[in-house]
Amino acid sequence: MLSNKGFDLWANEYDRSVQLSEESDSYPFAGYKDILNTIYNEAMRHSDSRILDLGFGTAVLTSQLYKQGHQIFGVDFSKEMLAIAQEKMPQAILYQADLTEGVPQNLAEQAYDTIISTYALHHLDDQAKVNLIKRLMSMLRKNGKLLIGDVAFETRAKHDACKLENAHHWDEEEYYFVYEELQPSLQAFCASEFYPISHCGGVIELQKFEAEADVTDKAI
Ligand SMILES: C[S@@+](CC[C@H](N)C(=O)[O-])C[C@H]1O[C@@H](n2cnc3c(N)ncnc32)[C@H](O)[C@@H]1O
C-alpha cells in the first residue's frame, strides 16, 4: 500500500498514469472520467454548495466544482498532492491528515451538501470503510449525499474475475469495494445504491434515511 510519501512521489506523474489506464480501458482506472463526471453532475444539482472531498489528490474533480463556485473542503495525507490541489483552488480549506484516523475534528463538526471521494477509500479495509461512512452520514445536510467513485464491483465473483485477468499487476494491498458484501452493513444506518460504470469501477451513492435526515439536519 502506498504511504503518504509514495503518493508524494507519484503526485507529478499521477494525472498522466491515470490517463493511460483510463484510455486503454484497463484496471484500475477504466471508467475514471465517467466516474468523475457522474459525481460532478450529481454534486452540481446544488448551487453554491459545501463539498468535502476525501483524498482529493491533484483535484481533477474538485477543481472543476471549485470553478463553479462551490466551497471546497478536503483531506489528503500527501503534502505534494495538497500543494498541487491548493494551487488550483486557493480558497479551498484543505487539511493534510490520514483518513485511517478519521476526519479531522474541524471538518467533522461541520455539515456538507455533498461529500465525495474518488479512488481513495480502497486504502481502508471494509470495517474502516463502514465506520467512516457512518461518521460521514452525520456530516451531511438534509438531502445531502455521499458519492464514492472507486475500483468497485457489484459481486465478489466480478471482483475475482477482474483479479484473474489482471493477475500480473493486481494490487493485493488495496481493499476494493464489493457492494454485495458492504451493503448489509450499510443498510443498518443509510440508504445506498451502486452504479457500475466500467468493468472495474463504479459509483456508490449514499444518503441518510429520510426520517433521520429531518431530525439530524445541522445548521451552519
Ligand atoms: C489514487 S489517488 C485519487 C486522487 C483523486 N481523488 C482522483 O480521483 O484522481 C488517492 C489519493 O488519496 C490519498 N490517500 C490515500 N490514502 C489516504 C489516507 N489514508 N488518508 C488521506 N489520504 C489518503 C492519496 O494521497 C491520494 O492523493
Residue 15 falls within a domain, yes or no? no
Minimum-distance ligand 1 atom for the alpha carbon of 100: 19
Distances (CA, A) of 33 to 104, 122, 200: 29, 18, 13
Ligand 1 pocket at CB < 6 A: 7, 55-57, 60, 75-78, 81, 98-100, 118-120, 123
97 within some domain:
yes
Asked whether residue 18 is domain-assigned, the answer is: no
By the 8 A CB rule, do 110 and 140 touch?
no
Annotate 67-92 with b (16+ C-beta within 10 A) or e (fewer).
eeebbbbbbbbbebbbebbbebbeeb
Q: Residue 65 falls within a domain, yes or no? A: yes
Placement of cell 440508504 in the chain: 191
pLDDT reported for residue 219: 43
Cell of 91: 480558497
Predicted local confidence at residue 8, as pLDDT:
81
Minimum CA distance residue for ligand 1 atom 25: 78
Q: Quote the pLDDT of residue 1.
A: 61
CATH number of residue 81's parent domain: 3.40.50.150
> What is the number of domains present in the chain?
1
**Residue 94: inside a domain:** yes
Domain boundaries, position 53:
4-10+27-212
pLDDT tens-place values along the chain, 220 residues long: 677 888 888 888 888 889 988 999 999 999 999 999 999 999 999 999 999 999 999 999 999 999 999 999 999 999 999 999 999 999 999 999 999 999 999 999 999 999 999 999 999 999 999 999 999 999 999 999 999 999 999 999 999 999 999 999 999 999 999 999 999 999 999 999 999 999 999 999 999 997 666 555 554 4
CA distance 139 to 111: 5
| Separation of CA 123 and ligand 1 centre (Å) | 8
- The answer as to whether 21 is a domain residue is no
Residues contacting residue 127 through CB under 8 Å, at least 6 positions apart: none
With a CB cutoff of 8 Å and minimum separation 6, the contacts of 63 are 85, 88, 89
What pTM did the predictor assign? Answer: 0.94
In a domain, 170, yes or no: yes
- Alpha carbon of 57 to ligand 1 centroid (Å): 5
CA 214–ligand 1 middle distance (angstroms): 32
Residue 96 lies in a domain: yes
Contact 69, 46 (CB under 8 A): no
Residue nearest to atom 4 of ligand 1 (CA): 57
- Residue 214 pLDDT: 56
Among 151, 204, 197, CA closest to 31: 197
Q: How far is the CA of 120 from the centre of ligand 1 (A)?
A: 4
Rounded CA gap, 198 and 31, in Å?
5
Per-residue pLDDT at 12: 85
